[in-house]
Amino acid sequence: MSASTSSSRSASHRHANRFPNESPEYRAARDALLEAERDLRDRVEAVAAMRRALPPGGRIPQDYVFEEGSTGDAAPRRVKLSELFVHGQDTLVLYGFMFGPHDDACPMCTSFIDGLNGNAIHIEQRVSLGVVAKSPLPRLRDYARSRGWNHLRLLSSAGTTFNRDYYGEDDRGAQGSIIHVFAKKDDGVHHTYSCELNMLPAEEGQNHRHIDLMWPLWNVLDLTPSGRGADWYPERSYPSK
């Protein structure tokens, strides 16, 4: 890269706006951060393009049958994975909720799904969406009602091998969080993407952060001087102030 190109690129990462009473030291450091933020934005888009360019994954080994029920009073129904695609859509996103038949609901998953519920009506303009848990449907519905999850399709995978086949469960039956994307093709439903960072060792001082880009909680806290906190994690409920 030539000196003139480098200078032009650096200048394009700056602007003339200044906040009240900011110091020259603050502005210099903020301009350096702004350049890093722009580079990160470019990198995030480059990774998203790689994700979109993935060839079709494997066709589902069976048309898994879930038990579905919302937080309303509608009777539960059995639904195949292939039937979860809303008419006119060929993409399905399923969040694997860490909530086993005998376990308490994961507080981290709960926080994530709180945000997912609020955005579901927007997401579903583009793709079909559901939340899958190994707990029996009545237990899943009761917990969803307590959280006010009224915009999500709730799916129990109890009685299926879906969680095991798609790594939402280990060989001992322990549940984990994971998000999947499936696509409807001419020859059936194919898996196209699952988050896999949680299948690698976590970086020192971090958890796996495999769904953090989609999680408002951490994205907001990462803007602050104190950050996420060294060992703070969300709870299912908090004392009243």
Mean pLDDT in residue range 103-113: 96
CA nearest to 72, candidates 156, 152, 158, 157: 152
Q: What is the mean pLDDT of residues 211-235?
A: 90
pLDDT at 169: 96
CATH of the domain at 136: 3.40.30.10
**Could you tell me which residue, 230 or 33, shows the higher pLDDT?**
33
In a domain, 144, yes or no: yes
Q: What is the pLDDT of residue 175?
A: 96
pLDDT (0 to 100) of residue 3: 54
Q: Is the per-residue pLDDT at 77 higher than 80? A: yes
Q: Which residues face 80 on adjacent strands?
A: 65
* Total structural domains within the chain: 1
Taking the CB of residue 188, how many other CB atoms lie within 10 A of it? 10
Residue carrying the six token digits 């907001």: 220
Residue with tokens 């095991």: 164
Asked if residue 139 lies in contact with residue 171, where contact means CB atoms within 8 angstroms, the answer is no
Q: Is residue 225 part of a domain?
A: no
What is the rounded average pLDDT of the residues 126-142?
97
* Pairing assessment for the beta strands 128-133 and 154-156 based on DSSP bridges: parallel
Over residues 225-236, mean pLDDT: 89
Residue 163 lies in a domain: yes
Residue 96 has pLDDT above 90, yes or no: yes
Q: Is residue 80 part of a domain?
A: yes
pLDDT per residue over 142-201, tens digit each?
999 999 999 999 999 999 999 999 999 999 999 999 999 999 999 999 999 999 999 999
State how beta strands 188-194 and 91-96 pair. Answer: unpaired
Task: Give the residue numbers spanning the domain of 87.
Answer: 65-194
The answer to whether residue 215 is domain-embedded is no
Chain Cα centroid distance, residue 150: 18
Could you give the angle at which helices 137-147 and 107-123 cross, rounded to 10 degrees? 80
What is the predicted pLDDT for the residue at 74?
81
Whether residue 98 lies inside any domain: the answer is yes
Cα–Cα distance measured from residue 68 to residue 73, given in angstroms and rounded to the nearest whole number: 12
> Tell me, what's the pLDDT at 240?
80
Long-range contacts of 34-37 (CB under 8 A, 24+ apart): 35/10
**pLDDT class for 2, splitting at 50, 70, 90?**
low
